[in-house]
């Protein structure tokens, strides 16, 4: 009996240790479960909002401009060599980023003499400024699928912020590539004086405002 009494405290201590161990084990399991749940939510969120990349289809994309000559007639032109990439996580492109690079040598107004002049130092000065770029910095919804697209335009060696109107025209499965294609239309106005462009030409010869008009079909790259 004396031995039994001596063993009883030891058994009680052992029992308390077992209880504490079980409590700690239970807490560890709870923490582990919460950690797994958090990780699962993060992974699902990442999967749901993974960025996609889109590249313009050159055969179905056009970048054009219009300038008024002598204040009485409009002259239209295009750039035949340009590339544009879009990255976005949301299906409505409300978080899209646009990256545009234009080869200024590719300016085309359907008049050879005028195009040569446009490539000269009087205008685009392609020898010194062979590219024009635009990188978007923000996009704001105006209405369904219509946005204000802000960004930095670099033209003639000068970088200035500009804002354009962007219309997301929808996404459709391309029957040829079996991938998604998205369509966009961009319009806006820039001032050539902001970029020291054609400063020798007064506004009575060429309007200061140049209208930009672009249509693009973009294929999903990933």
Domain ranges of the chain: 1-48, 52-220
Residue-level pLDDT at 44: 45
Please provide the average confidence, as pLDDT, over all residues in the chain.
87
- CB proximity list for 205: less than 8 A, separation 6 or greater: 69, 70
Res 42 pLDDT > 50: no
| Predicted local confidence at residue 202, as pLDDT | 87
- Does the pLDDT of residue 39 top 90, yes or no? no
Confidence label for 85 from pLDDT (cuts 50, 70 and 90): very high
pLDDT tens digits for range 108-118: 999 999 999 99
Confidence at 141, pLDDT banded by 50, 70, 90: very high
Average pLDDT over residues 145-166: 98
Residue 86 pLDDT > 70, yes or no? yes
**Domain 52-220 class in CATH:** mainly beta
Average pLDDT over every residue of 193-206: 93
Closest CA to 68 of 214, 204, 222: 204
Q: Return the pLDDT at 134.
A: 98
Question: pLDDT tens digits, residue range 65-83?
Answer: 999 999 999 999 999 999 9
**Residue 79 forms beta bridges with which residues?**
63, 107
% residues pLDDT > 90 (the chain): 73
pLDDT at 38 over 60: no
For the entire predicted model, the pTM comes to 0.77
Closest CA to 63 of 100, 19, 91: 100
Q: Which pLDDT score, from 0 to 100, does residue 177 have?
A: 86
pLDDT given for residue 104 in this prediction: 98
């Amino acid at each position: 009996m004396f031995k039994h009494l001596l063993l009883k405290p030891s058994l009680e201590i052992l029992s308390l240790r077992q209880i504490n161990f079980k409590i700690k084990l239970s807490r560890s399991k709870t923490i582990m479960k919460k950690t797994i749940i958090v990780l699962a939510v993060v992974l699902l969120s990442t999967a749901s909002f993974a960025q996609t990349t889109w590249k313009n289809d050159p055969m179905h994309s056009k970048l054009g401009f219009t300038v008024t000559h002598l204040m009485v007639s409009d002259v239209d032109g295009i750039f035949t060599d340009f590339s544009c990439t879009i990255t976005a996580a949301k299906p409505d492109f409300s978080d899209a980023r646009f990256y545009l690079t234009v080869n200024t040598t590719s300016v085309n107004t359907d008049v050879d003499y005028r195009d040569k002049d446009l490539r000269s130092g009087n205008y685009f000065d392609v020898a010194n400024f062979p590219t024009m770029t635009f990188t978007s910095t923000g996009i704001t919804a105006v209405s369904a699928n219509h946005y204000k697209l802000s960004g930095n335009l670099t033209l003639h060696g000068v970088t200035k912020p500009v804002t354009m109107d962007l219309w997301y025209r929808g996404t459709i499965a391309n029957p040829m590539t079996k991938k998604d294609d998205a369509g966009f239309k961009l319009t806006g106005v820039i001032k050539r004086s902001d970029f020291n462009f054609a400063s020798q030409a007064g506004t009575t010869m060429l309007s200061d405002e140049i209208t930009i008009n672009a249509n693009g079909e973009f294929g999903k790259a990933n």
